[in-house]
Chain A
Amino acid sequence: MNNKYWRKGLSIGLAVALMAGTLVGCGEKKDQKQPASEVKQEETKVEQKTEEKAPVEIEFMLLNNKGTDDKQFLAKKIFKDKFNVDAKFLLNTKDAHSEKLKLLIASNQLPDVVCPIIDENAKDIGPKGALVPVDEHFDKMPNFEKYMKEDKAVYTSCMASDEHIYFIPRFATDSVNFKQVPMIRKDLVEKYNLSMPETFDDLYDVLKTIKKEEPSIAGVINRNKINFLNTFGPYYNTDVGMYYNKEKDAWEFGPLHEGYKELLTTMNKMWKDELLDQDFFTASTQQWEEKMVNGAGVFTVDYGVRATNANEAYKKLHPEDKDFNWDLMMPLTTNTNKTKRLNVAQSVGTFTSWGISTNTKHLDRILEIVDYMFTDEATTLFQWGEKDVTYIEDGDKKKFASNIKASYNPEGTIEADNELGINNLNFMRVSKDDGVTMFAQPVADMFEQYKKDVELYENNYKINLTFTEEQQEKINNLNVNLNTMVTEMTVKFITGEKSLEEMDQFIQDLEKNGAKELEEIYTTSYKDYQQKLSNIK
């Protein structure tokens, strides 16, 4: 009997506890009723009223390439000494950064500063209230303002749809950093007394001759899968999707125009004659590296440093063969594009921008830090670190100290960017071309020649369009179908599964699926861009 009462009593007790727990859990906390912005303002006022430089902790969510911690980050020391800020770096590698960022944006829990946030993303979430409009605070950031207003085109490209700027880009002054460049097995070209190709047609002839002598070669190799269109596109003045055509001063959908057809025709010719690697569309980086080293590859478009790596790896395996040589070459021209053109990294790094969260309680202190990052002192500190500690002067150039990893420091063990937080593209806001080259001499020499003789192609000639929410939604919807069609048909045309005679039909299909509509949206936005550009004083 007693037992029964006990049980009932316990169940009622538990039910009451559960209900009370639910009510407490679901009820709002007093401070949560207050909007975040008000809380922020109040606390900022309190902060201003109290001591000017009271110690504060500021969180920087930072993309860092390697799994290291922030213990040795130079910024910690500098921010503490100069601003009494305890900088806390939340370090994430690539995909973790992007995963977390999505979650933090969706839950409105962004940390004080995000580095990097991609411009497109910032333009989207900024006007919705997630990021601080930095242009409203130019009065507190004269150094940053100077950089931003140096080039009207840059300023306009950074504007969101409400004409405010929500991110802080990185500026690479006086420096040119080549991305994918063409490279060829120079030793084979010389072995068969051939001339260095200047056009893709020449390349076809050269490969054909080599193939005749060495049937086992794979010819043109690639590790970017279907994205090879991004690297080969500028040679044909085209792109896999929308791009800015400088000659016509217009935005075009690549596959609708002449350059794309020429690209497919050339590639198809190479495929038929087995001059294009049969794994061209599927090879992983590892498979591509293997072909670079085992002698199968003859031509590729990739980072210059890869040629050096392949040559070194080959020489370790075959020390007797002194001739093997991947060498950089001048960019090839085509019928559609007679200009020698090469991809270079963005001089205004919008992909590596900083964003300041509106949740921050220390906006003024962050603005001070941002402005400082654009001073000459900070430029040197965050690119090179401390003189005679992390870098030394070599004539009028700087170079990293011998304990830091660099191509000229074979014994170096410390990674400047990941371990010390210097020369870190996501962190430093200004980088200068004032250092000894990081590349092996033949690559460095070729880069110098490129600078003199080649048109430097920076993604869409630095024009970043801004779209309204409605336009962006339309673009996303149209791109779903168009991207699939282009990807599938490009492979089919090149591999001969579809005849090139069906190209006109393909273009009509693209138009039916909204390719022209896409061009119109970009044209409208481009007009808007030009209007904004002319309005800037």
Chain B
Amino acid sequence: MTKTYKKFNAFDIINTLLMTIIICITLYPLLYVVAISFSSSEFVQANMVKIIPKGFNFGAYAEVMGNEFFWTAYKNTILYTVVGTSINLVFTCTLAFCLSRKELIFRDAISILVVLTMFFSGGLIPNFLLIKWLGMYNTIWAIVIPGAISTYNMIIVRTYMQGLPEEIFESVRIDGGNDLQIYLKIVLPLSKPVIATIGLFYAVGHWNSYFAPMIYFKDRALYPLQIILREMIVEQTFQDMAGDLAEAFGQSPPTSEMLISSSIVIALIPILCVYPFIQKYFVKGVMIGSLKG
């Protein structure tokens, strides 16, 4: 029995090398942030921290974790992501299923109306006034309802559903099933890869969202984590008149970099944990629509 070895060709070597470089470039900022979060201030100030923490300590984490406000924001982010993504998936999939059925009347007209929203929007101020008049201002609904359906994602799902064999639907009808049963019992289970993919897109979108909450929330108790993080980062880099004055008056200095870094690390963990579990769907899902036969 001779053992066979896989042969490496030039492509494999260059490919591996290139991927390693890309991984390093991608990974470095993350490692840097992690290293900063565990280092002490004097080493950070002197820019002596690269990827290994210096003056190792958990001080920044202790401070962040002791901040009640941070945890409220964390809880809010999870709530908005779960509720928002659920709403997104329910509405997107339902619309996509309807539009994927050829027998839907006014199908083309509805499709055009939906696609139009990709190209034209009402604008920030009319949207703001609408949200206010609808009574959604300063409520969770202001950020989960207006973007309930992303046309782009809906088209992806619709394309996937259109690709499902018509024969399956016919067999359900022969067995006495109606449209709702087709949707719930056949289409949705068969569409798991695409649902996982767009679910991830939606979830990451909600997780990272800061602009809509910043505009539509006036109570800080409703703020998601991203606003708090953004505030910390902008506060450190943004030098405006108020900042100048505060320093001239000897008032509190900006948030330390370790604090910002530790907050970023804590905020990253949940979304990083989600990836491995849906990776199998994700790889299938992103290929959707890439090949038509």
Which residues of chain A have a CB within 8 Å of any CB of chain B? 7, 11, 29, 59, 63, 65-70, 90-91, 93-96, 99-100, 103, 106-107, 109, 111, 116, 118, 177-179, 224, 284-287, 289-290, 293-294, 303, 305, 309, 313, 316-317, 344-346, 349, 351-352, 405, 407, 415, 417-418, 423, 425-426, 437-439
Q: Which residue of chain A has its CB nearest to the CB of B244?
A: A179
Bound-state Cα–Cα, A11 to B69, Å: 49
Say whether A103 contacts B242, CB under 8 Å: no
Bound-state Cα–Cα, A289 to B256, Å: 13
Asked if A66 meets B251 with Cβ closer than 8 Å, knowing A7-B105, A94-B242, the reply is no
Q: Which residue of chain B has its CB nearest to the CB of A61?
A: B218
Say whether B232 contacts A67, CB under 8 Å: yes
Interface assignment of B243: CB less than 8 Å from any CB of chain A: yes
Say whether B220 contacts A345, CB under 8 Å: no
Q: Which residue of chain A has its CB nearest to the CB of B55?
A: A316
Say whether A107 contacts B125, CB under 8 Å: yes
* 8 A Cβ contacts from B224-267 to A: 227-228, 231-232, 234-255, 257
Q: Which of B42-50, B78-86, B189-197, B200-208 contacts A (4 or more CB under 8 A)?
A: B42-50
Which residues of chain B have a CB within 8 Å of any CB of chain A? 41-43, 45-48, 69, 105-106, 124-125, 128-129, 132-133, 214-215, 218-221, 223, 227-228, 231-232, 234-255, 257
A-chain residues with CB within 8 Å of residue B48 when the two chains form the complex: 317
B-chain residues with CB within 8 Å of residue A415 when the two chains form the complex: 252
A-chain residues with CB within 8 Å of residue B128 when the two chains form the complex: 103, 107, 109
B-chain residues with CB within 8 Å of residue A29 when the two chains form the complex: 133
Q: Which residue of chain B has its CB nearest to the CB of A90?
A: B218
Say whether B248 contacts A67, CB under 8 Å: no
Instruction: Report which of A287, A309, A349, A438 forms a contact with B47, defined as CB distance below 8 A.
Output: A287
Say whether B46 contacts A67, CB under 8 Å: no
Distance (Å) between the CB of A430 and the closest chain B CB?
A: 14
A-chain residues with CB within 8 Å of residue B42 when the two chains form the complex: 293, 313, 316-317
Q: Which residue of chain B has its CB nearest to the CB of A293?
A: B46
Say whether A439 contacts B250, CB under 8 Å: yes
Instruction: Report which of B45, B106, B221, B254 forms a contact with A293, defined as CB distance below 8 A.
Output: B45
SS of B interface (majority): helix
Q: 16 A–B contact pairs at CB < 8 A? A: A7-B105, A65-B251, A66-B252, A94-B235, A95-B234, A96-B214, A96-B227, A103-B125, A106-B125, A118-B241, A305-B253, A349-B245, A351-B241, A351-B245, A352-B245, A405-B252
Bound-state Cα–Cα, A260 to B128, Å: 46
Say whether A303 contacts B249, CB under 8 Å: no
Asked if A438 meets B245 with Cβ closer than 8 Å, knowing A68-B69, A96-B231, A103-B124, the reply is no
Distance (Å) between the CB of B42 and the closest chain A CB?
A: 4
Q: Which residue of chain B has its CB nearest to the CB of A172?
A: B249
B-chain residues with CB within 8 Å of residue A287 when the two chains form the complex: 47
Asked if A67 meets B43 with Cβ closer than 8 Å, knowing A7-B105, A107-B125, A423-B251, the reply is no
A-chain residues with CB within 8 Å of residue B251 when the two chains form the complex: 65, 417, 423, 425, 438
Say whether A303 contacts B214, CB under 8 Å: no
Say whether A290 contacts B215, CB under 8 Å: no
Bound-state Cα–Cα, A316 to B106, Å: 74
A-chain residues with CB within 8 Å of residue B221 when the two chains form the complex: 69
Q: Which residue of chain A has its CB nearest to the CB of B44?
A: A286
Instruction: Report which of B45, B218, B242, B257 forms a contact with A63, defined as CB distance below 8 A.
Output: B242
A-chain residues with CB within 8 Å of residue B227 when the two chains form the complex: 67, 96
Distance (Å) between the CB of B271 and the closest chain A CB?
A: 21
